[in-house]
Chains A and B, each alone.
Chain A
Amino acid sequence: MQKKLLTGIALLGSLVIAPLASAASLTVYSGRGEALVQPIIDQFEKQTGNKVNVRYGDTAQLAVLIQEEGDRSPADVYWGQDAGAMGALANAGLLATLPEDIYKDLPGVFTSKTGQWVAASGRSRVIVYSTERASADDIPASVFDLTDEKFKGRFGLAPTNGGFQSFVTAMRVKHGDEATLAWLKGMKANEPKIYRNNTTQVQAVGDGEIDFALVNNYYLPRFVAANSEYPAKQTYFAEGDIGNLMNVAGVAVLKSSKNQDAANAFVQYMLTPAAQQYFTSFVNEYPVVEGIIPNAVLGDLDEMLKLAPEIDLDQLADLEGTLKLLRDAELL
């Protein structure tokens, strides 16, 4: 089944990308895992004749590495897990401006206004709850309501996790520092259990350590795929609530790259229907373009865009401010 779909994707892709072919050797720094993105990179290689070397690592570590390398970076393309990392590199003046036709058709939530990076796929924040100790009725309308007494000691947080930090940054952008700090302090007072990342939180919900967790949308589906009776579900807050933030995995071309054309072709390939269908069907993420067959678990992109709050992703780069708030709330 997977093979067939991949072949289909490959055929579809070849129609779109054929004119771009000009063989070059590209170096990609990927903060996304090999298991998730190598198949689509292989497709890009096959169809364009370009050779791609991928350095896999942690999104933040690779962003720091690129800063350390400066204009001597061997990387042509950076592929990061969240908008914050993309913004940090853009602010450091290390990213090239992309040709406008690459991103002009994308919905507003998926582009950088400065044109220095573009979203390759979307991931939303969700609330995961235990089906044994909670129900959908327990989920409040807003993430702000989690400071309520009835959630005391029942939820998990991952303050060191990039996804969570981006969400806090978005909250600052939309509701201001004061309201965000008040929320963080309220959460801290509500005795959360602190975890390292999304996976451990979803595991903790299943294990009965916590009843609720704030995570990205694609973790629970993996647990469910391994065990269809996994005792947890995920849902959203009310329409437009900041708790439903749509974050992105972004791609960008480095200013120092000597293969700008091939690098641009790589970015463009990730936005083709073929690649977008792959992210949607196999990685359980939202596509960033229209016309993709939706993932049965995630639902329609349009519906998600309705649920998601409006945020300028360029503003998510101010992580320093977010870390300060997290420190002030003693969550870090």
Chain B
Amino acid sequence: MSSTVVKSVAVSEVLASVKRPPLYILVPALLVALCMLIPLVYLFLRAGQAQPDQLLELVFRPRNAQLLLNTLSLTGGVLLICTFLALPLAWLVTRTNIAAKRFLTILAVVPLAVPGYVMAYALLGVGGNMGALNQLFGIRVNNISGYWGAVWALSLYTYPYIFLNVRAALLGLDSSLEESAQSLGYSKSMVFLKIILPHLLPALLAGYMVVGLYVLGDFGAVALMRYEAFSYAIFTQYSGAFDRIYAAWLSIMLLALAVSFLVVEALILKRKRLASVGSGVTRPARMFELGKASPIAWLYILVVLGTSIGLPVAMLSYWLLIAPPDVSIFWQVPWTFLRSASAAAPAAILAAALALPVCYLSVRYPSRLTSMIERSTYIGYALPPLTLALAMVFFSLQTAYFFYQTLGLLIVTWTLATLALAMGPIRSAIMQTRANTEEAAYALGYSPAATFYHVMFPRLRRGILAALALVFLFCMKELPITFLLAPTGYSTLAVTVFSRTSEGMMAEAAPFAAAIVIFSSLSVGMVLNREKIKGSR
């Protein structure tokens, strides 16, 4: 295996030195990086307006250090729980003979459709005197809250990010590697540790990045669970003081933390370029026979999915049942869904389309510049959404007033916010495609467009579909950006749910929240189902 790595590094280095990236890849990628600079410019502009003494008091106070520490331990906790939820599930649906794999895969992605505040309210609605358990069954348990409340609330709807990345990597992994390792005398557990795990590392890290950076900026679930993280400080500055200047400073601090995450990831991944260069054909891996372990596997699946899907669904039903809302509400639901989807779907397509050149550039033409471009996409994702939205308000008012509060601006901003989500699966897919595939196609006289369509696209299909699904789900439940940038009067499902739950109108919010979960899962199910039809060549 080590020789494979050495060999592939050599190949890509040769490629990079011999060939410069073509313009039709470089230009869109540079454009993406340029767009990511918009929020940075805005932040530094606002930060420059600060008064030194107030800066010292607000930004560089000891309590912020405590909040940063809380944020770090929250992130660590969430990543740990997510790994335990996602890794076995991904292995079960790719490498074992468990039944209903496709269905299980789709179910494992559904929690992404649950808005964070709904998950938090669901967890909070279980215990306590007035909680569902006590009201229905007379079982009185204390509500989960604080650190573990926040860790669980976040983990239960973010673990699919890691699941999807790892699953794609497992599916794309050339099983001949494992088999040759086994024939060389490696035991099964050795194969997992020495072959599979290192090859999963990029996917796992991509998943960790996505979840970790999300946890940094999340305020909703964290605040409902009464855990004080750094986003708390930023939120207070905007919401308590109606202030943009010191909030910009705090956002820059958060961004610095995000950058340090990226540096750590880069250090781990350094010199680990994994691509199969042999001439072997990728073929389906041999499936692990679960046999007597089958009931344990199902129990595990039941617990994971039961908590992450069953719990919010049960709570939504409970709210509907204790105080059924007026029937007329249900009529609005499909229309509001269509409205949400009509912006979320274009954003998903745009994000995937932009992620392609950026990923291709960074994988095939590795250099300082291309890796900078790739990393820049995390800016949009790591920034608190409110900060990003304000930056886009500022930008469009200064340069393109006609664009302000249009659907187009909402879609572009969503794209900036979610590009990093689309990168993970697409990057893994490109990494697992042989570098000389395109070369061969060119040599056979294919044009770049034809090469992409006939040669690359079929191999990247799985990654692209996963990227579409991730971005779509994110946008369906997104709030702060929608609040500020959507056309006036344009209310999405998420906005409707939020405005009702925040008024304590759980029953009236429930049909809309259920619609997010049900319709989004159906759409994702449809997208992921296309994998089977044409994807498995």
Contacts of A219 in B (CB 8 A): 504
Quick check: A160 and B226 within 8 Å, CB to CB?
Answer: no
Instruction: A320 to B27: give the CA distance in the assembly, Å.
Output: 45
Nearest-neighbor residue (CB-CB) of B480 within chain A: A61
Comparing A50-58, A147-155, A238-246, the segment that makes contact with chain B is A50-58
Q: Which of A62, A68, A199 has the most CB of B within 10 A?
A: A68
Given known pairs A207-B128, A207-B143, A323-B236, the reply for A222 and B504 (CB within 8 Å) is yes
Instruction: A132 to B243: give the CA distance in the assembly, Å.
Output: 42
Contacts of B63 in A (CB 8 A): 327, 330
Quick check: B393 and A69 within 8 Å, CB to CB?
Answer: yes
The count of A-to-B residue pairs whose CB atoms sit within 8 angstroms is 143
Q: What's the minimum C-beta distance from B461 to chain A, rounded to whole angstroms?
A: 39
Q: Which of A179-206 contact B (CB under 8 A)?
A: 193-197, 199-200, 202-204, 206
Contacts of A223 in B (CB 8 A): 504
Quick check: A57 and B500 within 8 Å, CB to CB?
Answer: no
Q: Which of B131, B224, B239, B504 contacts A60 (CB 8 A)?
A: B239
Q: Which of B373-411 contact A (CB under 8 A)?
A: 386, 390, 393-394, 397, 401, 404-405
Comparing B167-175, B204-212, B484-492, the segment that makes contact with chain A is B484-492
Q: Is A136 an interface residue (CB 8 A)?
A: no
Q: Is A4 an interface residue (CB 8 A)?
A: no
Instruction: A218 to B513: give the CA distance in the assembly, Å.
Output: 24
Quick check: B241 and A56 within 8 Å, CB to CB?
Answer: no
Q: Which of B129, B394, B496 contacts A68 (CB 8 A)?
A: B394
Q: Is A144 an interface residue (CB 8 A)?
A: no
Q: Is A12 an interface residue (CB 8 A)?
A: no
Instruction: A226 to B500: give the CA distance in the assembly, Å.
Output: 14
Quick check: A61 and B239 within 8 Å, CB to CB?
Answer: yes
Quick check: A319 and B480 within 8 Å, CB to CB?
Answer: no
Contacts of A72 in B (CB 8 A): 397, 401
Contacts of A55 in B (CB 8 A): 483, 488-489
Quick check: B124 and A203 within 8 Å, CB to CB?
Answer: yes
Q: What's the minimum C-beta distance from B221 to chain A, rounded to whole angstroms?
A: 10
Q: Is A63 an interface residue (CB 8 A)?
A: yes
Q: What's the minimum C-beta distance from B227 to chain A, rounded to whole angstroms?
A: 10
Given known pairs A195-B226, A199-B502, A209-B143, the reply for A58 and B239 (CB within 8 Å) is yes
Q: Is B440 an interface residue (CB 8 A)?
A: no
Q: Is A33 an interface residue (CB 8 A)?
A: yes
Quick check: A64 and B496 within 8 Å, CB to CB?
Answer: no
Q: What's the minimum C-beta distance from B56 to chain A, rounded to whole angstroms?
A: 13
Count contacts on B: residues with CB < 8 A to the other chain: 53
Nearest-neighbor residue (CB-CB) of A208 within chain B: B129
Given known pairs A61-B480, A223-B504, the reply for A194 and B242 (CB within 8 Å) is no
Quick check: A68 and B61 within 8 Å, CB to CB?
Answer: no
Contacts of B131 in A (CB 8 A): 207
Q: What's the minimum C-beta distance from A316 to chain B, rounded to whole angstroms?
A: 12
Nearest-neighbor residue (CB-CB) of B483 within chain A: A57
Q: Is A289 an interface residue (CB 8 A)?
A: no
Nearest-neighbor residue (CB-CB) of B135 within chain A: A227
Binding site of A, secondary structure by majority: helix, strand, loop or mixed? helix
Q: Is A296 an interface residue (CB 8 A)?
A: no
Quick check: A193 and B244 within 8 Å, CB to CB?
Answer: no
Q: Is B508 an interface residue (CB 8 A)?
A: yes
Nearest-neighbor residue (CB-CB) of B54 within chain A: A320
Q: Is A308 an interface residue (CB 8 A)?
A: no
Q: Which of B127, B484, B503 contacts A35 (CB 8 A)?
A: B503
Count contacts on A: residues with CB < 8 A to the other chain: 60
Given known pairs A65-B393, A74-B404, the reply for A53 and B242 (CB within 8 Å) is no
Q: What's the minimum C-beta distance from B535 to chain A, rounded to whole angstroms?
A: 41
Quick check: A69 and B143 within 8 Å, CB to CB?
Answer: no
Instruction: A330 to B242: give the CA distance in the assembly, Å.
Output: 20
Q: Is A27 an interface residue (CB 8 A)?
A: yes
Q: Is B235 an interface residue (CB 8 A)?
A: yes
Quick check: B130 and A207 within 8 Å, CB to CB?
Answer: yes
Quick check: A206 and B128 within 8 Å, CB to CB?
Answer: yes
Q: Would you give the 0/1 interface string for A137-165, flagging 1 where the beta carbon is closer than 8 Å to chain B?
A: 00000000000000000000000101001
Q: Which of A56, A85, A193, A197 contacts B495 (CB 8 A)?
A: A56
Nearest-neighbor residue (CB-CB) of A160 within chain B: B236
Nearest-neighbor residue (CB-CB) of A225 within chain B: B323
Q: Which of B223-253 contact A (CB under 8 A)?
A: 223-224, 226, 228, 232-233, 235-236, 238-244
Quick check: A61 and B223 within 8 Å, CB to CB?
Answer: no
Instruction: A230 to B135: give the CA distance in the assembly, Å.
Output: 12
Q: Is B499 an interface residue (CB 8 A)?
A: yes
Q: Would you give the 0/1 interface string for A291-332, flagging 1 where the beta carbon is closer than 8 Å to chain B?
A: 000000000000000000000000000011011100100101
Quick check: B503 and A199 within 8 Å, CB to CB?
Answer: yes
Quick check: B504 and A202 within 8 Å, CB to CB?
Answer: yes
Contacts of A323 in B (CB 8 A): 236, 240-241
Q: Would you give the 0/1 interface string for A69-93, flagging 1 where the beta carbon is closer than 8 Å to chain B?
A: 1101010000000001100110000
Quick check: A226 and B322 within 8 Å, CB to CB?
Answer: yes
Quick check: B130 and A64 within 8 Å, CB to CB?
Answer: no
Q: Which of B61, B491, B508 contacts A56 (CB 8 A)?
A: B491
Q: Is B505 an interface residue (CB 8 A)?
A: yes
Quick check: A54 and B499 within 8 Å, CB to CB?
Answer: no
Quick check: B489 and A35 within 8 Å, CB to CB?
Answer: no
Q: What's the minimum C-beta distance from B317 to chain A, rounded to whole angstroms?
A: 16
Q: Is A34 an interface residue (CB 8 A)?
A: yes
Instruction: A132 to B61: give the CA distance in the assembly, Å.
Output: 42
Instruction: A162 to B241: give the CA distance in the assembly, Å.
Output: 10
Quick check: A35 and B128 within 8 Å, CB to CB?
Answer: no
Contacts of A115 in B (CB 8 A): none
Quick check: A60 and B323 within 8 Å, CB to CB?
Answer: no
Contacts of B505 in A (CB 8 A): 35, 222
Nearest-neighbor residue (CB-CB) of B484 within chain A: A65
Quick check: B502 and A160 within 8 Å, CB to CB?
Answer: no
Q: What's the minimum C-beta distance from A66 to chain B, rounded to whole angstroms?
A: 9
Q: What's the minimum C-beta distance from B390 to chain A, rounded to whole angstroms?
A: 5
Q: Is B216 an interface residue (CB 8 A)?
A: no
Q: What's the minimum C-beta distance from A244 to chain B, rounded to whole angstroms?
A: 22
Quick check: B503 and A320 within 8 Å, CB to CB?
Answer: no
Instruction: A192 to B507: give the CA distance in the assembly, Å.
Output: 29
Nearest-neighbor residue (CB-CB) of B386 within chain A: A61
Instruction: A229 to B99: give the CA distance in the assembly, Å.
Output: 47
Nearest-neighbor residue (CB-CB) of B244 within chain A: A64
Contacts of A260 in B (CB 8 A): none
Quick check: A58 and B226 within 8 Å, CB to CB?
Answer: no
Q: What's the minimum C-beta distance from A313 to chain B, rounded to whole angstroms?
A: 16
Give the interface of A toward B (CB within 8 A). Answer: 27, 33-36, 53-58, 60-65, 67-70, 72, 74, 84-85, 88-89, 132, 160, 162, 165, 193-197, 199-200, 202-204, 206-209, 219, 222-223, 226-227, 230-231, 319-320, 322-324, 327, 330, 332
Q: Beyond A207-B127, A323-B236: 7 further Cβ-contacts under 8 Å?
A: A34-B499, A35-B500, A55-B483, A68-B244, A199-B502, A208-B128, A209-B142
Please name 18 pairs of A and B residues whose Cβ atoms are closer than 8 Å in the assembled complex, sorted by A. A34-B496, A55-B489, A60-B240, A65-B393, A68-B393, A72-B401, A84-B242, A132-B129, A160-B239, A165-B240, A194-B228, A195-B226, A196-B224, A199-B501, A203-B128, A204-B128, A206-B130, A319-B241
